[in-house]
Structure 1
Amino acid sequence: MSKLFFQFLVGLLLTFSWQVNAQEKSFLFEDELCRYEAFYDSTKYSEKQLNDTFKLAQGYFNIYTEDEQQLDDTYKLSKKEILGFQIVKNPYFNTLRDSIVQFLDWTYRIKKIEFAARKGKTKDLLKYFQKNSTVKLYSEALHKGGDDLMKAYEHLTKEQMKNNAAPEVLWNEYVKNSKSGQAQQLAFEQVLSYGWWNAVNHELPHINMDGSQMEEFQKLFSRVETIDCDEI
Protein backbone atom coordinates (compact mmCIF):
# COMPACT_ATOMS: atom_id res chain seq x y z
CA MET A 1 0.00 0.00 0.00
CA SER A 2 2.77 2.39 0.93
CA LYS A 3 4.61 1.50 -2.29
CA LEU A 4 1.53 2.25 -4.37
CA PHE A 5 1.01 5.52 -2.53
CA PHE A 6 4.66 6.47 -3.14
CA GLN A 7 4.30 5.70 -6.84
CA PHE A 8 1.14 7.79 -6.92
CA LEU A 9 2.96 10.73 -5.34
CA VAL A 10 5.84 10.45 -7.79
CA GLY A 11 3.43 10.37 -10.69
CA LEU A 12 1.55 13.34 -9.31
CA LEU A 13 4.74 15.35 -8.91
CA LEU A 14 5.90 14.48 -12.41
CA THR A 15 2.54 15.52 -13.82
CA PHE A 16 2.64 18.79 -11.88
CA SER A 17 6.20 19.44 -13.02
CA TRP A 18 5.23 18.78 -16.63
CA GLN A 19 2.27 21.13 -16.36
CA VAL A 20 4.41 23.90 -14.89
CA ASN A 21 7.02 23.49 -17.61
CA ALA A 22 4.31 23.40 -20.26
CA GLN A 23 2.86 26.67 -18.94
CA GLU A 24 6.20 28.48 -18.95
CA LYS A 25 7.19 29.82 -22.33
CA SER A 26 9.92 32.12 -23.54
CA PHE A 27 9.68 35.42 -25.37
CA LEU A 28 12.53 37.06 -27.28
CA PHE A 29 12.89 40.83 -27.55
CA GLU A 30 15.62 43.43 -27.89
CA ASP A 31 16.34 47.08 -27.22
CA GLU A 32 18.99 49.41 -28.66
CA LEU A 33 21.82 47.54 -26.97
CA CYS A 34 20.86 43.99 -25.96
CA ARG A 35 18.81 40.92 -26.84
CA TYR A 36 16.81 39.18 -24.14
CA GLU A 37 14.99 35.94 -23.48
CA ALA A 38 12.15 36.33 -21.01
CA PHE A 39 10.02 33.62 -19.42
CA TYR A 40 6.32 33.92 -18.70
CA ASP A 41 3.24 31.99 -17.64
CA SER A 42 1.36 31.22 -20.86
CA THR A 43 -1.91 30.96 -18.94
CA LYS A 44 -1.67 34.70 -18.23
CA TYR A 45 -0.64 36.12 -21.60
CA SER A 46 -0.39 35.03 -25.20
CA GLU A 47 2.63 35.67 -27.42
CA LYS A 48 0.48 38.04 -29.48
CA GLN A 49 -0.35 40.08 -26.38
CA LEU A 50 3.32 40.32 -25.43
CA ASN A 51 4.32 41.32 -28.95
CA ASP A 52 1.73 44.09 -29.08
CA THR A 53 2.51 45.27 -25.56
CA PHE A 54 6.21 45.40 -26.43
CA LYS A 55 5.47 47.57 -29.48
CA LEU A 56 3.37 49.86 -27.31
CA ALA A 57 6.10 50.13 -24.66
CA GLN A 58 8.64 51.13 -27.30
CA GLY A 59 6.48 54.12 -28.22
CA TYR A 60 7.77 54.56 -31.77
CA PHE A 61 4.75 56.40 -33.12
CA ASN A 62 5.77 59.52 -35.03
CA ILE A 63 3.48 61.45 -37.36
CA TYR A 64 5.69 64.53 -37.85
CA THR A 65 5.96 65.26 -41.56
CA GLU A 66 5.98 68.19 -43.96
CA ASP A 67 3.58 66.44 -46.36
CA GLU A 68 -0.11 66.76 -45.51
CA GLN A 69 -1.24 63.60 -47.29
CA GLN A 70 1.48 61.63 -45.54
CA LEU A 71 0.32 63.14 -42.24
CA ASP A 72 -3.25 61.97 -42.87
CA ASP A 73 -2.17 58.48 -43.89
CA THR A 74 0.35 57.99 -41.08
CA TYR A 75 -2.07 59.24 -38.44
CA LYS A 76 -4.86 56.92 -39.55
CA LEU A 77 -2.59 53.89 -39.82
CA SER A 78 -0.83 54.53 -36.50
CA LYS A 79 -4.06 55.06 -34.59
CA LYS A 80 -5.67 52.00 -36.15
CA GLU A 81 -2.64 49.89 -35.25
CA ILE A 82 -2.53 51.08 -31.64
CA LEU A 83 -6.26 50.64 -31.03
CA GLY A 84 -6.02 47.18 -32.58
CA PHE A 85 -3.25 46.03 -30.26
CA GLN A 86 -4.13 43.02 -28.10
CA ILE A 87 -2.20 44.22 -25.08
CA VAL A 88 -1.96 42.42 -21.74
CA LYS A 89 -4.73 43.16 -19.27
CA ASN A 90 -2.83 45.63 -17.15
CA PRO A 91 -3.90 49.12 -15.95
CA TYR A 92 -0.47 50.59 -16.68
CA PHE A 93 -0.48 49.60 -20.34
CA ASN A 94 -4.13 50.56 -20.79
CA THR A 95 -3.25 54.04 -19.57
CA LEU A 96 -0.15 54.13 -21.77
CA ARG A 97 -2.22 53.29 -24.84
CA ASP A 98 -4.76 56.01 -24.00
CA SER A 99 -1.93 58.52 -23.54
CA ILE A 100 -0.31 57.66 -26.87
CA VAL A 101 -3.63 57.96 -28.70
CA GLN A 102 -4.28 61.31 -27.03
CA PHE A 103 -0.85 62.56 -28.11
CA LEU A 104 -1.43 61.42 -31.69
CA ASP A 105 -4.86 63.07 -31.79
CA TRP A 106 -3.54 66.40 -30.53
CA THR A 107 -0.47 66.35 -32.74
CA TYR A 108 -2.57 65.59 -35.80
CA ARG A 109 -5.03 68.38 -34.97
CA ILE A 110 -2.29 70.98 -34.53
CA LYS A 111 -0.35 69.87 -37.61
CA LYS A 112 -3.53 70.23 -39.69
CA ILE A 113 -3.87 73.79 -38.41
CA GLU A 114 -0.28 74.45 -39.43
CA PHE A 115 -0.93 73.17 -42.95
CA ALA A 116 -4.13 75.24 -43.17
CA ALA A 117 -2.23 78.37 -42.09
CA ARG A 118 0.17 77.93 -44.99
CA LYS A 119 -2.86 78.00 -47.28
CA GLY A 120 -4.00 81.32 -45.81
CA LYS A 121 -6.44 79.96 -43.21
CA THR A 122 -4.83 81.47 -40.12
CA LYS A 123 -7.90 82.05 -37.95
CA ASP A 124 -7.70 78.60 -36.33
CA LEU A 125 -4.26 79.51 -34.98
CA LEU A 126 -6.12 81.70 -32.48
CA LYS A 127 -8.18 78.81 -31.07
CA TYR A 128 -5.52 76.85 -29.23
CA PHE A 129 -3.22 77.43 -26.25
CA GLN A 130 -3.85 81.17 -26.08
CA LYS A 131 -3.06 81.16 -22.35
CA ASN A 132 0.54 80.59 -23.40
CA SER A 133 1.76 84.13 -24.05
CA THR A 134 4.32 83.00 -26.64
CA VAL A 135 1.75 81.01 -28.62
CA LYS A 136 -0.62 83.98 -28.41
CA LEU A 137 2.05 86.40 -29.66
CA TYR A 138 2.96 84.33 -32.69
CA SER A 139 -0.56 83.19 -33.61
CA GLU A 140 -1.90 86.76 -33.56
CA ALA A 141 1.04 88.01 -35.64
CA LEU A 142 0.56 85.24 -38.19
CA HIS A 143 -3.14 86.04 -38.45
CA LYS A 144 -2.71 89.82 -38.72
CA GLY A 145 0.40 89.90 -40.91
CA GLY A 146 1.98 93.25 -41.80
CA ASP A 147 3.99 95.07 -39.15
CA ASP A 148 2.80 92.68 -36.42
CA LEU A 149 4.31 89.77 -38.31
CA MET A 150 7.60 91.56 -38.89
CA LYS A 151 7.83 92.50 -35.20
CA ALA A 152 7.16 88.88 -34.26
CA TYR A 153 9.89 87.78 -36.67
CA GLU A 154 12.34 90.19 -35.04
CA HIS A 155 11.32 88.94 -31.58
CA LEU A 156 11.80 85.32 -32.68
CA THR A 157 15.23 86.08 -34.13
CA LYS A 158 16.40 87.73 -30.93
CA GLU A 159 15.15 84.78 -28.88
CA GLN A 160 16.98 82.35 -31.15
CA MET A 161 20.18 84.38 -30.93
CA LYS A 162 20.31 83.83 -27.15
CA ASN A 163 21.10 80.13 -27.59
CA ASN A 164 23.01 80.16 -30.86
CA ALA A 165 26.76 79.83 -31.27
CA ALA A 166 26.71 82.28 -34.18
CA PRO A 167 23.97 84.81 -33.36
CA GLU A 168 25.24 87.29 -35.95
CA VAL A 169 24.38 84.80 -38.71
CA LEU A 170 20.77 84.70 -37.54
CA TRP A 171 20.59 88.47 -37.32
CA ASN A 172 22.08 88.95 -40.78
CA GLU A 173 19.56 86.52 -42.21
CA TYR A 174 16.75 88.41 -40.49
CA VAL A 175 17.96 91.76 -41.89
CA LYS A 176 18.31 90.28 -45.38
CA ASN A 177 14.84 88.71 -45.29
CA SER A 178 13.27 91.88 -43.90
CA LYS A 179 14.54 93.87 -46.88
CA SER A 180 13.44 91.26 -49.39
CA GLY A 181 10.51 91.75 -51.72
CA GLN A 182 9.13 88.57 -50.14
CA ALA A 183 9.62 89.76 -46.56
CA GLN A 184 6.08 88.84 -45.47
CA GLN A 185 6.28 85.32 -46.88
CA LEU A 186 9.72 84.70 -45.40
CA ALA A 187 8.70 86.08 -42.02
CA PHE A 188 5.51 84.00 -42.05
CA GLU A 189 7.41 80.77 -42.65
CA GLN A 190 9.99 81.51 -39.95
CA VAL A 191 7.42 82.53 -37.34
CA LEU A 192 5.11 79.62 -38.13
CA SER A 193 7.80 76.92 -38.18
CA TYR A 194 10.17 78.09 -35.46
CA GLY A 195 8.05 80.40 -33.35
CA TRP A 196 4.46 79.21 -33.23
CA TRP A 197 5.14 75.49 -33.78
CA ASN A 198 7.90 75.22 -31.19
CA ALA A 199 5.75 77.03 -28.63
CA VAL A 200 2.68 74.90 -29.37
CA ASN A 201 4.72 71.70 -29.35
CA HIS A 202 5.59 72.32 -25.70
CA GLU A 203 1.86 72.32 -24.93
CA LEU A 204 1.16 68.96 -26.54
CA PRO A 205 0.70 65.96 -24.19
CA HIS A 206 4.08 64.36 -24.88
CA ILE A 207 4.89 61.04 -23.25
CA ASN A 208 8.18 60.83 -21.42
CA MET A 209 9.78 57.68 -22.82
CA ASP A 210 12.23 57.46 -19.94
CA GLY A 211 12.69 53.71 -19.80
CA SER A 212 9.94 53.14 -17.25
CA GLN A 213 7.77 51.64 -19.99
CA MET A 214 10.27 48.85 -20.62
CA GLU A 215 10.72 48.35 -16.89
CA GLU A 216 6.98 47.75 -16.57
CA PHE A 217 7.10 45.41 -19.55
CA GLN A 218 9.81 43.29 -17.96
CA LYS A 219 7.68 42.94 -14.81
CA LEU A 220 5.32 40.76 -16.84
CA PHE A 221 7.91 37.95 -16.80
CA SER A 222 9.08 35.58 -14.08
CA ARG A 223 12.67 36.21 -15.20
CA VAL A 224 14.55 37.97 -17.97
CA GLU A 225 17.93 36.78 -19.20
CA THR A 226 20.34 38.79 -21.35
CA ILE A 227 21.46 36.87 -24.42
CA ASP A 228 24.04 39.32 -25.73
CA CYS A 229 24.76 43.03 -26.03
CA ASP A 230 26.48 45.25 -28.55
CA GLU A 231 29.79 46.69 -27.50
CA ILE A 232 29.69 50.42 -26.81
Structure 2
Amino acid sequence: MMKKHILITLTFLFTVSSISCKKESKPEEKSISVTEEITPETEIDTINWYTDLCEMNSKFDVSKYSKKQLKDTHHLWFGTIGYINFDGYPVFNLDDKTEPIEVLEERYAEGKAELENLEVVDLPYWNNLKQLKLLELKSFYEHEKTAYFAYANPKNLVKTVYDVKAKVYVDALVSGDSLKMIAAWKKLNEEQKANNGSPEHVEKKFQSRLNSPQCLEYAKMDLFTFGWNNNTKKNCKGCEVLENRDPMYEEYKKLFISTTEECSEP
Protein backbone atom coordinates (compact mmCIF):
# COMPACT_ATOMS: atom_id res chain seq x y z
CA MET A 1 0.00 0.00 0.00
CA MET A 2 2.88 2.31 0.88
CA LYS A 3 4.62 1.56 -2.45
CA LYS A 4 1.40 2.30 -4.33
CA HIS A 5 1.06 5.66 -2.56
CA ILE A 6 4.68 6.58 -3.38
CA LEU A 7 4.17 5.58 -7.04
CA ILE A 8 1.05 7.77 -7.34
CA THR A 9 2.87 10.69 -5.72
CA LEU A 10 5.87 10.38 -8.06
CA THR A 11 3.59 10.11 -11.09
CA PHE A 12 1.79 13.31 -10.06
CA LEU A 13 5.06 15.19 -9.49
CA PHE A 14 6.43 14.06 -12.87
CA THR A 15 3.23 15.23 -14.60
CA VAL A 16 3.37 18.64 -12.92
CA SER A 17 7.06 18.97 -13.81
CA SER A 18 6.39 18.09 -17.46
CA ILE A 19 3.62 20.65 -17.72
CA SER A 20 5.87 23.27 -16.13
CA CYS A 21 8.69 22.56 -18.61
CA LYS A 22 6.33 22.84 -21.57
CA LYS A 23 5.15 26.23 -20.36
CA GLU A 24 8.71 27.51 -19.96
CA SER A 25 9.73 26.53 -23.51
CA LYS A 26 6.89 28.51 -25.06
CA PRO A 27 7.71 32.11 -26.10
CA GLU A 28 6.33 34.58 -23.59
CA GLU A 29 3.36 36.57 -24.77
CA LYS A 30 2.13 39.54 -22.79
CA SER A 31 0.43 42.89 -23.12
CA ILE A 32 2.96 45.71 -22.94
CA SER A 33 0.95 48.85 -23.52
CA VAL A 34 -2.50 50.33 -23.46
CA THR A 35 -2.48 53.98 -24.42
CA GLU A 36 -6.13 54.91 -24.79
CA GLU A 37 -9.70 53.87 -24.10
CA ILE A 38 -11.69 51.99 -26.74
CA THR A 39 -15.19 53.33 -27.33
CA PRO A 40 -17.97 51.64 -29.31
CA GLU A 41 -17.39 54.20 -32.09
CA THR A 42 -13.67 53.42 -32.42
CA GLU A 43 -12.82 51.68 -35.68
CA ILE A 44 -9.93 49.35 -34.98
CA ASP A 45 -7.40 47.58 -37.16
CA THR A 46 -4.29 45.55 -36.26
CA ILE A 47 -0.70 45.56 -37.45
CA ASN A 48 2.27 43.25 -36.87
CA TRP A 49 5.72 44.75 -36.37
CA TYR A 50 8.99 43.68 -34.78
CA THR A 51 12.11 44.59 -32.83
CA ASP A 52 15.39 42.68 -32.56
CA LEU A 53 13.93 39.95 -30.35
CA CYS A 54 10.18 40.47 -30.33
CA GLU A 55 7.21 40.23 -32.67
CA MET A 56 4.41 42.65 -31.86
CA ASN A 57 0.73 42.74 -32.61
CA SER A 58 -0.91 46.13 -32.09
CA LYS A 59 -4.40 47.59 -32.31
CA PHE A 60 -4.76 51.11 -33.67
CA ASP A 61 -7.47 53.68 -34.35
CA VAL A 62 -7.90 53.90 -38.15
CA SER A 63 -9.28 57.43 -37.84
CA LYS A 64 -5.84 58.57 -36.64
CA TYR A 65 -3.33 56.62 -38.74
CA SER A 66 -3.31 54.35 -41.76
CA LYS A 67 -1.50 51.03 -41.86
CA LYS A 68 0.87 52.46 -44.48
CA GLN A 69 1.76 55.37 -42.19
CA LEU A 70 2.54 52.99 -39.35
CA LYS A 71 4.64 50.72 -41.57
CA ASP A 72 6.55 53.66 -43.03
CA THR A 73 7.14 55.08 -39.55
CA HIS A 74 8.48 51.74 -38.35
CA HIS A 75 10.78 51.66 -41.39
CA LEU A 76 12.03 55.16 -40.59
CA TRP A 77 12.87 54.11 -37.04
CA PHE A 78 13.96 50.50 -37.40
CA GLY A 79 15.10 50.11 -41.01
CA THR A 80 18.56 50.66 -42.47
CA ILE A 81 17.34 53.63 -44.47
CA GLY A 82 19.65 56.65 -44.35
CA TYR A 83 22.93 54.96 -45.20
CA ILE A 84 24.83 54.57 -48.47
CA ASN A 85 26.95 51.57 -49.35
CA PHE A 86 29.76 52.97 -51.49
CA ASP A 87 33.28 51.69 -52.17
CA GLY A 88 35.06 54.72 -53.55
CA TYR A 89 38.58 53.84 -52.44
CA PRO A 90 40.43 50.70 -51.21
CA VAL A 91 39.99 50.01 -47.52
CA PHE A 92 41.54 46.63 -46.66
CA ASN A 93 43.33 45.65 -49.84
CA LEU A 94 44.78 47.55 -52.78
CA ASP A 95 43.16 45.07 -55.15
CA ASP A 96 39.64 45.79 -53.86
CA LYS A 97 37.36 46.90 -56.67
CA THR A 98 36.37 50.54 -56.26
CA GLU A 99 33.29 52.30 -57.64
CA PRO A 100 33.05 55.52 -59.69
CA ILE A 101 31.57 58.69 -58.21
CA GLU A 102 28.46 58.25 -60.38
CA VAL A 103 27.50 55.26 -58.21
CA LEU A 104 27.54 57.46 -55.10
CA GLU A 105 25.42 60.13 -56.81
CA GLU A 106 22.89 57.53 -57.92
CA ARG A 107 22.63 55.84 -54.53
CA TYR A 108 22.26 59.15 -52.74
CA ALA A 109 19.44 60.18 -55.07
CA GLU A 110 17.71 56.82 -54.50
CA GLY A 111 18.09 56.98 -50.71
CA LYS A 112 16.91 60.59 -50.56
CA ALA A 113 13.83 59.78 -52.66
CA GLU A 114 13.02 56.75 -50.50
CA LEU A 115 13.20 58.84 -47.33
CA GLU A 116 11.19 61.72 -48.75
CA ASN A 117 8.46 59.34 -49.95
CA LEU A 118 7.97 57.75 -46.54
CA GLU A 119 4.48 58.60 -45.30
CA VAL A 120 5.18 58.82 -41.57
CA VAL A 121 2.49 59.63 -39.01
CA ASP A 122 1.92 63.38 -38.95
CA LEU A 123 3.28 64.16 -35.50
CA PRO A 124 6.14 66.59 -34.61
CA TYR A 125 8.37 63.83 -33.22
CA TRP A 126 8.28 61.70 -36.38
CA ASN A 127 8.40 64.65 -38.80
CA ASN A 128 11.52 65.90 -37.01
CA LEU A 129 13.05 62.42 -37.07
CA LYS A 130 12.47 62.22 -40.82
CA GLN A 131 14.25 65.54 -41.34
CA LEU A 132 17.18 64.37 -39.20
CA LYS A 133 17.41 61.17 -41.25
CA LEU A 134 17.57 63.25 -44.42
CA LEU A 135 20.28 65.42 -42.87
CA GLU A 136 22.21 62.33 -41.79
CA LEU A 137 21.99 60.87 -45.29
CA LYS A 138 23.21 64.14 -46.82
CA SER A 139 26.15 64.39 -44.42
CA PHE A 140 27.09 60.79 -45.16
CA TYR A 141 26.93 61.50 -48.90
CA GLU A 142 29.05 64.65 -48.59
CA HIS A 143 31.63 62.80 -46.50
CA GLU A 144 31.91 59.95 -48.99
CA LYS A 145 32.22 62.44 -51.85
CA THR A 146 35.01 64.28 -50.04
CA ALA A 147 36.76 60.98 -49.31
CA TYR A 148 36.51 59.91 -52.94
CA PHE A 149 38.31 63.00 -54.24
CA ALA A 150 40.69 63.26 -51.27
CA TYR A 151 42.04 59.78 -51.85
CA ALA A 152 43.19 60.90 -55.30
CA ASN A 153 44.41 64.25 -53.94
CA PRO A 154 45.17 64.08 -50.17
CA LYS A 155 45.67 67.88 -50.04
CA ASN A 156 41.85 68.08 -49.89
CA LEU A 157 42.03 66.61 -46.36
CA VAL A 158 43.24 69.97 -45.00
CA LYS A 159 39.69 71.33 -45.40
CA THR A 160 38.05 68.47 -43.46
CA VAL A 161 37.18 68.32 -39.75
CA TYR A 162 38.76 65.49 -37.76
CA ASP A 163 39.84 64.51 -34.26
CA VAL A 164 43.11 66.07 -33.13
CA LYS A 165 44.76 62.64 -32.78
CA ALA A 166 44.43 62.17 -36.55
CA LYS A 167 46.55 65.26 -37.33
CA VAL A 168 49.80 63.31 -37.58
CA TYR A 169 48.22 60.98 -40.15
CA VAL A 170 46.64 63.78 -42.17
CA ASP A 171 49.88 65.78 -42.17
CA ALA A 172 51.78 62.76 -43.47
CA LEU A 173 49.24 62.15 -46.25
CA VAL A 174 49.18 65.81 -47.29
CA SER A 175 52.98 66.07 -47.32
CA GLY A 176 53.43 63.16 -49.71
CA ASP A 177 56.83 62.66 -48.07
CA SER A 178 57.63 58.93 -48.05
CA LEU A 179 59.58 59.04 -44.76
CA LYS A 180 56.77 60.93 -42.96
CA MET A 181 54.19 58.51 -44.34
CA ILE A 182 56.13 55.44 -43.20
CA ALA A 183 56.72 56.95 -39.74
CA ALA A 184 53.03 57.83 -39.36
CA TRP A 185 52.05 54.39 -40.64
CA LYS A 186 54.23 52.72 -38.00
CA LYS A 187 52.59 54.85 -35.31
CA LEU A 188 49.15 53.89 -36.61
CA ASN A 189 50.16 50.22 -36.58
CA GLU A 190 51.15 50.43 -32.92
CA GLU A 191 47.80 52.03 -32.12
CA GLN A 192 45.95 49.26 -33.96
CA LYS A 193 47.96 46.54 -32.19
CA ALA A 194 47.06 48.02 -28.80
CA ASN A 195 43.36 47.81 -29.65
CA ASN A 196 43.35 44.36 -31.24
CA GLY A 197 42.93 40.94 -29.64
CA SER A 198 45.60 39.47 -31.93
CA PRO A 199 48.44 42.03 -32.05
CA GLU A 200 50.80 39.39 -33.50
CA HIS A 201 48.54 39.01 -36.55
CA VAL A 202 48.38 42.80 -37.00
CA GLU A 203 52.18 43.06 -36.82
CA LYS A 204 52.70 40.18 -39.25
CA LYS A 205 50.37 41.78 -41.78
CA PHE A 206 52.06 45.16 -41.33
CA GLN A 207 55.57 43.74 -41.82
CA SER A 208 54.45 41.94 -44.97
CA ARG A 209 53.11 45.19 -46.45
CA LEU A 210 56.04 47.27 -45.20
CA ASN A 211 58.41 45.02 -47.16
CA SER A 212 56.22 45.05 -50.25
CA PRO A 213 57.16 47.03 -53.39
CA GLN A 214 53.77 48.73 -52.90
CA CYS A 215 54.52 49.79 -49.31
CA LEU A 216 53.76 53.49 -49.91
CA GLU A 217 50.41 52.65 -51.45
CA TYR A 218 49.60 50.44 -48.46
CA ALA A 219 50.69 53.26 -46.15
CA LYS A 220 48.39 55.68 -47.94
CA MET A 221 45.46 53.25 -47.78
CA ASP A 222 45.81 52.62 -44.04
CA LEU A 223 46.55 56.23 -43.09
CA PHE A 224 43.56 57.38 -45.11
CA THR A 225 41.11 54.74 -43.87
CA PHE A 226 42.07 54.19 -40.25
CA GLY A 227 44.01 57.37 -39.58
CA TRP A 228 41.75 59.98 -41.17
CA ASN A 229 38.37 58.44 -42.06
CA ASN A 230 37.82 56.72 -38.71
CA ASN A 231 38.47 60.02 -36.92
CA THR A 232 36.43 62.45 -38.99
CA LYS A 233 33.61 64.55 -37.60
CA LYS A 234 30.61 64.57 -39.88
CA ASN A 235 28.44 67.66 -40.30
CA CYS A 236 25.07 66.57 -38.95
CA LYS A 237 23.80 68.93 -36.27
CA GLY A 238 21.26 67.23 -34.00
CA CYS A 239 21.84 63.78 -35.48
CA GLU A 240 23.24 62.43 -32.22
CA VAL A 241 19.65 61.57 -31.18
CA LEU A 242 19.58 58.99 -33.98
CA GLU A 243 22.19 56.93 -32.15
CA ASN A 244 19.70 55.93 -29.43
CA ARG A 245 16.71 54.02 -30.78
CA ASP A 246 15.09 53.30 -27.40
CA PRO A 247 13.12 56.60 -27.32
CA MET A 248 11.89 55.85 -30.87
CA TYR A 249 10.57 52.50 -29.65
CA GLU A 250 8.71 54.17 -26.80
CA GLU A 251 7.25 56.83 -29.11
CA TYR A 252 6.16 54.19 -31.61
CA LYS A 253 4.29 52.20 -28.94
CA LYS A 254 2.32 55.34 -28.06
CA LEU A 255 0.66 55.23 -31.49
CA PHE A 256 -1.38 52.15 -30.54
CA ILE A 257 -4.43 51.43 -28.44
CA SER A 258 -2.76 48.27 -27.14
CA THR A 259 0.15 46.01 -27.99
CA THR A 260 1.06 42.41 -27.20
CA GLU A 261 4.54 41.01 -27.70
CA GLU A 262 6.00 37.56 -28.20
CA CYS A 263 9.73 37.46 -27.56
CA SER A 264 12.51 34.96 -28.12
CA GLU A 265 15.37 34.35 -25.73
CA PRO A 266 18.37 36.67 -26.44
With normalisation by structure 1, the TM-score equals 0.80
Displacement of 1:188 in angstroms is 0.3
Partner of 2:253: 218
Structure number with the bigger relative contact order (C-alpha 8 A, sep ≥ 6) is: 2
The 1:99/1:214 distance shift into structure 2, 3 A limit, reads same
Contact 1:59 1:209 survives alignment (8 Å): no
CA RMSD of aligned residues (A): 2.3
* Number of residue-to-residue matches in the alignment: 211
Displacement of 1:230 in angstroms is 3.9
* Structure 1 position 145 matched with structure 2 position 197: no
Partner of 2:127: 94
Distance in 2, Cα, partners of 1:108 & 1:209: 22
Contact 1:53 1:87 survives alignment (8 Å): yes
SS in 1 for 2:157: helix
* Aligned residue runs from structure 1 range 3-152, under 5 A: 17=40, 19-20=41-42, 23-61=43-81, 62-66=83-87, 67-68=99-100, 69-118=102-151, 120-130=152-162, 132-146=163-177, 147-152=179-184
Partner of 2:22: none
Q: Percent identity?
A: 27
SS in 1 for 2:109: helix
Contact 1:134 1:196 survives alignment (8 Å): no
With normalisation by structure 2, the TM-score equals 0.71
* Structure 1 position 154 matched with structure 2 position 175: no
> Unaligned 5+ residue runs, structure 1?
1-15
Q: Which amino acid in structure 2 is aligned with residue 78 of structure 1? A: G
Displacement of 1:185 in angstroms is 0.7
- 1:111-139: CA deviations, max 9, x gaps? 12222233x22232111215x21333322
Displacement of 1:231 in angstroms is 5.0
Contact 2:48 2:58 survives alignment (8 Å): yes
Aligned with 1:194 (options 207, 226, 230) = 226
Q: Which is richer in helix?
A: 1
- 1:122-168: CA deviations, max 9, x gaps? 232111215x2133332222222222222221111111111122323
- 1:30-84: CA deviations, max 9, x gaps? 2232322211121211222111111101141231331344433322211111112
The 1:183/1:203 distance shift into structure 2, 3 A limit, reads farther
The 1:70/1:196 distance shift into structure 2, 3 A limit, reads same
SS in 2 for 1:164: coil
Distance in 2, Cα, partners of 1:201 & 1:162: 23
> Unaligned 5+ residue runs, structure 2?
1-38, 88-98
